Amino acid sequence: MKPSSTNEIHPGKYFARPAAEPCVVFAGKSLASSAISNAEGPLLFLGDANTLAALWRVGAGARPGDRVVDLGAPLRLDDALLSSARERVGRAEGFHLVAVGGGTINDLAKLLAAEGRRSFSLVGTCASMNGWVSANASIVRAGNKVSVPAVAPERVLLDDDLLAGAPAALAAAGIADALCGPFACRDWRLAELADGTGHDAAIAAAVARSLEPLTECLERGDEPDALRPALIDALLAGGVAMSEAHSSAPASGAEHLVAHAIDLLEIARGATPTLHGHAVAIGTLLVAALWEVVDEHLAAMRPSGAVTPVRPHPAASERAAALAAWLPTLAREAPRVVLAKEAREQARRPLDALCTEAMALAPLPSVDRVRAWLRAAGAPTRAAAIHVDAAFLRSALLLARDMRDRTTVFDFAHDLGVLPTRLDEVVTRSGLVDR
């Protein structure tokens, strides 16, 4: 499964120091057909009805002796899908596994590869998220979505013809998943300042650099074909940033908690899943608005130093119960997470010192700028576009901080008293719902 090496691209190129590239990535035109026809042994294609049809459409057919496993139209990766895929793929000795798809099929193949101690290649059919090169897989277990260690693809083929034929909504989702980078990295830094949990400025700088060409394309109004190389680079850089940091932090902050909450509520309702990146778009606008209000609050504290910061501490049991009432599948975990967060809060750096450091952080893109980028990308900028409402946004601002034991702007805003006091202002400023 190897196209001409002239198509190899380097996801680590935005990193000032050499980054360990988790796998070999090829991008360009007609990659899939050349790689398949040049493959030495028999291949086993694993995909769904849409992704396999897309592959055949670009003229990359299975050869005599190859096998095809078509999973139909799965909605989500859960244990039922994993076990049916495991059964249908079998041991398949002598076959090289080729995952054909985006996030879900890639994650499924990562898990099968981990179980069977085998390698696999990915033929990406869309640029909708930044998980191409990561070794983690997301799977729904007991109504909750969890990330588990698995095996990254050995080779990733990003065929231009395939990506160009993917629905526009998928690329819009990918753009949003990349654009949250500055906000995720700000949370990463905030957590380091507050709790000393570690941060790497060089990785954060690489994420920022990788987004510059993408935002330039969006501001110029480039067509999808012109924008795609910048999108691919930004998504790959996000994936490499996570593996370099040994943490999802450089690509997943408070905005991803909002996306995760949307996901959990849809799983509970049995609803069709919103594209991950579309949910991230909503989370990013909410978080961009919150940071603006927090930054204004900090600026108002500066001249006199007289504004006394507040750090309210509702009882842990109350916090856990509120989270469980909102997201029932987190009920079992909620008390543990809240207790861990409470311990962090008690050991946290004094708030006035934290405020001084936070005032000196590099500026973030404004919520208006983020909205303009997302609009240009065709990503949602209104809550109703993904069937959530003002009540959901309010719950997210009040409760999402306790979904994970990691400090984000949600915690900082609560410590400062910005939340819940200025909650309505944040919702309004996000532009996600009408006043």
Question: Considering the rule CB under 5 A, would residue 255 count as an interface residue with Zn ion?
Answer: no
Stretch that binds Zn ion, among 62-70, 84-92, 177-185, 211-219 (CB under 5 A): 177-185
Taking the complex as a whole, the smallest distance from the CB of residue 134 to Zn ion amounts, in Å, to 10
Stretch that binds Zn ion, among 173-181, 309-317, 344-352, 414-422 (CB under 5 A): 173-181
**Among the listed residues 415, 406, 413, the one whose alpha carbon sits nearest the alpha carbon of residue 427:** 413
Restricting to residues 78-97, which ones interact with Zn ion according to CB under 5 A?
Answer: none
Judged by beta carbon, residue 255 or residue 415, the one nearer Zn ion is 255
Question: Considering the rule CB under 5 A, would residue 177 count as an interface residue with Zn ion?
Answer: yes
Taking the complex as a whole, the smallest distance from the CB of residue 93 to Zn ion amounts, in Å, to 35
Taking the complex as a whole, the smallest distance from the CB of residue 325 to Zn ion amounts, in Å, to 26
Taking the complex as a whole, the smallest distance from the CB of residue 176 to Zn ion amounts, in Å, to 9
Stretch that binds Zn ion, among 71-79, 150-158, 169-177, 334-342 (CB under 5 A): 169-177
Taking the complex as a whole, the smallest distance from the CB of residue 53 to Zn ion amounts, in Å, to 26
Restricting to residues 136-155, which ones interact with Zn ion according to CB under 5 A?
Answer: none
Judged by beta carbon, residue 48 or residue 177, the one nearer Zn ion is 177
Taking the complex as a whole, the smallest distance from the CB of residue 259 to Zn ion amounts, in Å, to 7
Stretch that binds Zn ion, among 48-56, 174-182, 290-298, 398-406 (CB under 5 A): 174-182
Taking the complex as a whole, the smallest distance from the CB of residue 381 to Zn ion amounts, in Å, to 18
Stretch that binds Zn ion, among 30-38, 172-180, 307-315, 392-400 (CB under 5 A): 172-180
How many residues in the shown chain lie near Zn ion by CB under 5 A? 1
Stretch that binds Zn ion, among 170-178, 303-311, 346-354, 408-416 (CB under 5 A): 170-178
Task: Give the nearest residue (CB) to Zn ion.
Answer: 177
Judged by beta carbon, residue 177 or residue 244, the one nearer Zn ion is 177
Write a three-state SS string for the chain: CCCCHHHEECHHHHCCCCCCCCCEEEEECCHHHHHHHHCCCCEEEEECHHHHHHHHHCCCCCCCCCEEEECCCCCCCEHHHHHHHHHHHCCCCCCEEEEEECHHHHHHHHHHHHHHCCCEEEEECCCCCCCCCCCEEEEEECCEEEEEECCCCCEEEEEHHHHHHCCHHHHHHHHHHHHCHHHHHHHHHHHHHHHCCCCCHHHHHHHHHHHHHHHHHHHHCCCHHHHHHHHHHHHHHHHHHHHHHCCCHHHCCHHHHHHHHHHHHHHHHCCCCCCHHHHHHHHHHHHHHHHHHHHHHHHHHCCCCCCCCCCCCCCHHHHHHHHHHHCHHHCCCHHHHHHHHHHHHHHCCCHHHHHHHHHCCCCCCCHHHHHHHHHHHCCCCCHHHHCCCHHHHHHHHHHHHHHCCCCCHHHHHHHHCHHHHCHHHHHHHHCCCCC
Question: Considering the rule CB under 5 A, would residue 187 count as an interface residue with Zn ion?
Answer: no
Structure token pair of residue 1: 């499964």
Taking the complex as a whole, the smallest distance from the CB of residue 252 to Zn ion amounts, in Å, to 6
Judged by beta carbon, residue 28 or residue 238, the one nearer Zn ion is 238
Taking the complex as a whole, the smallest distance from the CB of residue 278 to Zn ion amounts, in Å, to 11
Binding site for Zn ion (CB under 5 A): 177
